[in-house]
Amino acid sequence: MNIIRTVRSVAFSSIPNRTLSTTRSLSTPSAQYTAFEVNDKTGIATLTLNRPPVNSLNLELLTEMRNCLKDAETNKCKGLIITSSSNSVFTAGLDLLEMYQPQDERVKSFWTALQSMWMELYGSKIPTAAAINGHAPAGGCLIATACEYRVMLPNFTIGLNETLIGIVAPKWFVSAFLNVVPRRVAEQAITQGKLFTTAEAHNVGLVDDVVNTKEEAIAKCEQFIGSFKNVNPYARALTKQQFRIKELQELEQQREKDLQIFLGLIMQPSVQKAMGIYLEGLKKKSKKQ
Cite the active site residues.
Answer: 94, 139, 161-162
Task: List the alpha helices (DSSP H) in the chain.
Answer: 59-74, 96-99, 104-122, 139-146, 162-165, 171-178, 183-192, 198-204, 214-226, 233-266, 269-288
Non-local (6+) Cβ contacts of 247 within 8 A are 122, 172, 175, 176
Tell whether residue 46 is a contact of ligand LQQ7U7AH (CB under 6 A).
no
For residue 137, the surrounding DSSP H or E stretch is strand 136-137
Question: Pick from 23, 39, 56, 175: which binds ligand LQQ7U7AH (CB under 6 A)?
Answer: 56
Tell whether residue 239 is a contact of ligand LQQ7U7AH (CB under 6 A).
no
Binding mask 94-133 for ligand LQQ7U7AH (x = CB under 6 A): xxxx------------------------------------
Question: Pick from 139, 145, 174, 202: which binds ligand LQQ7U7AH (CB under 6 A)?
Answer: 139
Question: Pick from 64, 162, 222, 247: which binds ligand LQQ7U7AH (CB under 6 A)?
Answer: 162
For residue 166, the tally of other CB atoms under 10 A from its CB is: 18
Tell whether residue 261 is a contact of ligand LQQ7U7AH (CB under 6 A).
yes
Are 119 and 241 a contacting pair, CB within 8 Å?
no
Mapped onto helix, strand or coil, the DSSP state of residue 193 is: coil
Contacting range for ligand LQQ7U7AH; rule: CB under 6 A; set: 23-31, 74-82, 91-99, 223-231:
91-99
Are 114 and 62 a contacting pair, CB within 8 Å?
yes
Task: List the alpha helices (DSSP H) in 15-94.
Answer: 59-74
Residues forming contacts to ligand LQQ7U7AH in the complex (CB under 6 A) are 53-54, 56, 88-89, 92-97, 135, 137-139, 161-162, 165, 167-168, 170, 261-262, 265-266, 282-283, 285-286, 289
